[in-house]
Amino acid sequence: MLDNFDIATTKESVALIGGRCEVESSGVITEQTLISFVECGVDYISVGALTNHIKELDMSLKAH
């Protein structure tokens, strides 16, 4: 897990890992930076920006 790494550090980290394990990048990825992170060679990308603006809703079914 490469969390909150910038693009340059992600590229360097992926090279150091050298395919010995799967790599996920997360934390600072936006619609504008997604392709740059993909090009770093990571295996997975988590994009919190997809859900960060969603408000929670309590759907409790408890009887009062």
Alpha helix segments (H runs only) across 1-64? 7-17, 34-38
Domain residue extents for the chain? 2-50
pTM for this predicted structure: 0.73
The pLDDT tens digits for 21-62 are: 999 999 888 889 999 999 999 999 998 766 667 777 777 777
Residue pair 5/27 in contact (Cβ under 8 Å)? The answer is yes
The pLDDT tens digits for 7-25 are: 999 999 999 999 999 999 9
CATH class of this structure's domain 2-50: alpha beta
